[in-house]
A and B are shown apart, each in its own frame.
Chain A
């Protein structure tokens, strides 16, 4: 069974974003970029499935400008077998990404597609669900455990209030939550080997998908600043302030 893992190049999660002075967007120039943390978990899960002999080939795919080949190489170093780069200079919406991925799924016919639950830049949490809808597949979102039994995948999901386990016939779509696994680091020999693994480059335009934006970004603003707080000396003073000044406790 092939496993397809779409990954996204995003700002490194430790880096604070700056907003452009004209408020047109965030400013990503010269910032450290990385594989979206949830996508890294997706790659790791695919590699573990291969190690358990449940997957035969892992294909990673990323959509974006040329720079995202860096993240595809990183995923190859983690254990993916080959990469597909869909070149596009547009800011694509999850719906567009899902449509492009649908074509890749139809060409490659993987048994499982594993995505991250959300990208930490736009925080949308949509692409996996949309891809499942377009393909008419079942979906196991926010997965914290994945277990393949013959032609069915059992997915334990992190839902409000606890966990829920579902069974989905394959092929299916899974989106990863944080606790699915702990991604490994790429070793130096694997980073070297990854340079020789195949990477196919295609343009998004060649897919014949309408990529016109449906949502216009009007402006980006910083969050409201909180008023500077004060340091209290001790617990008694804290309780006193909460009762009389903030009036949040009786």
Chain B
């Protein structure tokens, strides 16, 4: 019995979240297999084989997995599931999409977004937007888990695990892909960035987000946003940090013009150092900020950019 880890990738590049998944997986069992499901993704499998702790990489390279549609991927994982005691995926949109399907087909409950592993059957997960942590014990024979990757460190590289091709072309015939519209960005991805600067409603409009760009460039930071900023149409929704957006935990999080609603805090309060810049001294964000600056962002941001 062993652990099956579903690799996060875009057919070209293995994502860092996979290294964190492997770090979680090795706490559960010595045998860790990484499944790379995609199309023309051999290079991803080769990267996965380098992660320390991985015993084997399974490569399911087929056109039906190109867009990692839930219906097709869950059929594939279900076929493999009987050999595993644990099935892990990152708590990102791909894992959240297909893994509950796998669990239901296996007739087991799924445990979402685990942030710690207490023992082989006991896990900790945030509930109520991270305002409480539940310790839960699974009695199911197969544990199906999504992992909050920000809560685990990356596994090291320096392995040479075997890659085994699996010939299984699962087409459930229940969905078809029409198009992707990905936001192009030169900056680091929110999930992977060491420094994030986020703007909220206080930015007043989308153009003012340019004030964050110069600072982000100097710091090598990603730019995020609160739900208020996204809902107001200032920026694209994939920049949203929060309970319903991305969960991040960078070394430094700079919140600008963000009041600090429960929903937003859920997405960033595990950041190592939090800086808040806000003109309202009573904004809740100051209660969790390590460094607070009560100032008008329109004067503070240019000053900050100049000071860096």
- Contact-residue size bin, chain B (C-beta under 8 Å from the other chain): 35 or more
Q: Does A120 lie within 8 Å of B243, measured CB to CB? A: yes
Contact with A along B169-186 (1 / 0, CB 8 A): 000101111111111000
Contact with B along A180-219 (1 / 0, CB 8 A): 0000000000000000000000000000000001111111
CA distance A236 to B227 in the complex (A): 29
Shortest CB-to-CB span from A212 to chain B, Å, is 9
Q: Assess A160 versus B191: contact at CB under 8 Å? Given A246-B290, A248-B251, A248-B252.
A: yes
Q: Does B290 lie within 8 Å of A164, measured CB to CB? A: no
Q: Does A13 lie within 8 Å of B105, measured CB to CB? A: no
Q: Among B69, B175, B178, which residue has the most Cβ atoms of chain A within 10 A?
A: B175
Task: Jot down 24 A-B pairs with beta carbons below 8 A, ordered by A.
Answer: A93-B109, A123-B129, A129-B99, A129-B101, A136-B174, A162-B238, A163-B180, A165-B178, A168-B175, A177-B244, A178-B231, A179-B230, A179-B237, A214-B108, A216-B137, A216-B138, A220-B132, A229-B291, A232-B291, A235-B304, A238-B291, A239-B304, A242-B291, A249-B219
**Interface stretch among A65-73, A82-90, A137-145?**
A137-145
- Contact-residue size bin, chain A (C-beta under 8 Å from the other chain): 35 or more
Contact among A94, A159, A221 for B93, CB-based, below 8 A: A159
Q: Top 8 nearest A-B pairs by Cβ distance?
A: A138-B174, A129-B100, A130-B104, A162-B182, A126-B100, A133-B104, A214-B109, A248-B252
**Interface stretch among B35-43, B56-64, B270-278?**
B270-278
A34 contacts chain B at the CB level, 8 A cutoff: no
CA distance A165 to B177 in the complex (A): 6
Contact among A13, A117, A131, A167 for B175, CB-based, below 8 A: A167
**Inter-chain contact total with CB atoms closer than 8 Å:** 254
Q: Does A230 lie within 8 Å of B127, measured CB to CB? A: no
CA distance A220 to B125 in the complex (A): 10
Q: Does A248 lie within 8 Å of B195, measured CB to CB? A: yes
B293 contacts chain A at the CB level, 8 A cutoff: yes
Contact with A along B269-294 (1 / 0, CB 8 A): 10011110000000000101111111
B50 contacts chain A at the CB level, 8 A cutoff: no
Shortest CB-to-CB span from B227 to chain A, Å, is 7
A44 contacts chain B at the CB level, 8 A cutoff: no
**Chain A residues within 8 Å of B294, by CB:** 231
B28 contacts chain A at the CB level, 8 A cutoff: no
Q: Does B105 lie within 8 Å of A235, measured CB to CB? A: no
CA distance A141 to B69 in the complex (A): 11
Q: Does B307 lie within 8 Å of A126, measured CB to CB? A: no
A148 contacts chain B at the CB level, 8 A cutoff: no
Q: Does B113 lie within 8 Å of A242, measured CB to CB? A: no
**Chain B residues within 8 Å of A108, by CB:** none
Q: Does A162 lie within 8 Å of B180, measured CB to CB? A: yes
B97 contacts chain A at the CB level, 8 A cutoff: yes
Shortest CB-to-CB span from B23 to chain A, Å, is 20
CA distance A242 to B237 in the complex (A): 29
The chain A residues found within 8 Å of chain B, CB to CB, are: 11, 13-14, 16-17, 19, 26, 93-95, 98, 117-118, 120-134, 136-142, 144, 154, 157-169, 172, 177-179, 213-223, 226-227, 229-232, 234-236, 238-239, 241-242, 246, 248-249
Q: Assess A167 versus B104: contact at CB under 8 Å? Given A162-B183, A234-B293.
A: no
Q: Among A17, A123, A139, A236, which residue has the most Cβ atoms of chain B within 10 A?
A: A123
B263 contacts chain A at the CB level, 8 A cutoff: yes
Contact with A along B236-249 (1 / 0, CB 8 A): 11100001101000
B165 contacts chain A at the CB level, 8 A cutoff: no
Q: Assess A144 versus B178: contact at CB under 8 Å? Given A123-B112, A133-B101, A229-B290.
A: no
B295 contacts chain A at the CB level, 8 A cutoff: yes
Q: Assess A215 versus B111: contact at CB under 8 Å? Given A162-B236, A231-B294.
A: yes
CA distance A220 to B189 in the complex (A): 32
Shortest CB-to-CB span from B239 to chain A, Å, is 11
**Chain B residues within 8 Å of A235, by CB:** 293, 295, 300, 303-304, 307
**Chain B residues within 8 Å of A179, by CB:** 230-231, 237
Chain B residue at smallest Cβ distance from A230: B291
Q: Assess A215 versus B183: contact at CB under 8 Å? Given A95-B103, A139-B71, A179-B231.
A: no
